[in-house]
Amino acid sequence: MRKVISPGIVFILALTLGACLSQPAASENPAPAPTQSVPVPEATQPVQAPPQPVIPETRRLTLEYPPKMRAGVEGDIVRLTLEVDDLGNVTPTAELDGNVVTGETVEIPNLYETHYVIAEARLDLAGMQVQPANSIFEPLKPGQSVTFYWSIRPADPGKYAGTVWLHLNFREKSMGEESRIPVSAQIIEIEAVDFFGLSVNVVRTSGVIGSVIGGVIGFPFLEQILTFIFGKRKRRGT
């Protein structure tokens, strides 16, 4: 006996199958249902202390020195300049979760209004004559540069290492309270050389004497050259 599936059952099965295939994504990723809105508490901000007074300008420290110089009587200059950096515009910035937030001007007290600022510089260079040997003090004023000079003179050839120090001294205008901070300590190395054991003075004197003697010995040839030139002109004239 053969069983035959009726067309009605086939139709119902096809409808059911089609309905199942048409919504697979919806069943896998259901749309997020609206949730109850809860008021988010505001982030508690830490109590900020009043900002400390600062120098309201970016500065540039320039150190100039001879890395190699002649030993002996000759001296040279080391110069340290603390100048105002015109391009150094500082904008207050903050970083929050990887996003940089820029803006919002912060009123920071000006240090020049509350304190006397004095720049102090010193050059420590062992084994070399340094003038002045002690610290140099220069008042630091808004928008103005300060420059320090040292005269150095190596007596003997060799390598000399030293440090250029820069400190800032603050003195409160009202109370007179003093404080001091280091700003920079730069290590420098200067090599003093001579000419095969001869000092600069000996080399210079030898150069002058040698040039004179060489000129005297070579002078007759100069005379011959001049005679040759003028003789040629005379011959052309006649």
Footprint of other proteins on residues 111-130 (CB under 8 A)? 111, 115
- Of 17, 73, 101, 209, the one binding other proteins (CB under 8 A) is 209
138 binding other proteins? (CB under 8 A): no
48 binding other proteins? (CB under 8 A): no
Shortest gap between Cβ of 148 and other proteins (angstroms)?
A: 14
52 binding other proteins? (CB under 8 A): yes
DSSP one-letter code for 128:
S
DSSP one-letter code for 110:
B
Residue number, 70 or 122, with CB nearest to other proteins: 70
93 binding other proteins? (CB under 8 A): no
| Separation of alpha carbons 198 and 157, rounded Å | 10
141 binding other proteins? (CB under 8 A): no
- Of 132, 142, 215, 231, the one binding other proteins (CB under 8 A) is 215
| Separation of alpha carbons 180 and 166, rounded Å | 11
For 29, half-sphere exposure in the C-beta direction (CA atoms, 13 angstrom radius) is 1
Residue recorded with tokens 């990887």: 98
173 binding other proteins? (CB under 8 A): no
Q: Is 190 exposed, middle or buried (0-12, 13-18, 19+ CB in 10 A)?
A: buried
Residues binding other proteins: number (CB under 8 A): 51
Residue number, 1 or 217, with CB nearest to other proteins: 217
| Separation of alpha carbons 165 and 136, rounded Å | 10
- Helix, strand or coil, per DSSP, at residue 24: helix
| Separation of alpha carbons 70 and 190, rounded Å | 10
| Separation of alpha carbons 24 and 30, rounded Å | 10
231 binding other proteins? (CB under 8 A): no
DSSP one-letter code for 155:
S
136 binding other proteins? (CB under 8 A): no
- Of 11, 180, 231, 232, the one binding other proteins (CB under 8 A) is 180
Query: Which residues of this protein are in contact with other proteins, per CB under 8 A?
Result: 52-70, 76, 82, 85, 88, 90, 111, 115, 168, 170, 179-181, 183-184, 186, 195, 200, 203-204, 206-211, 213-215, 217-218, 220-221
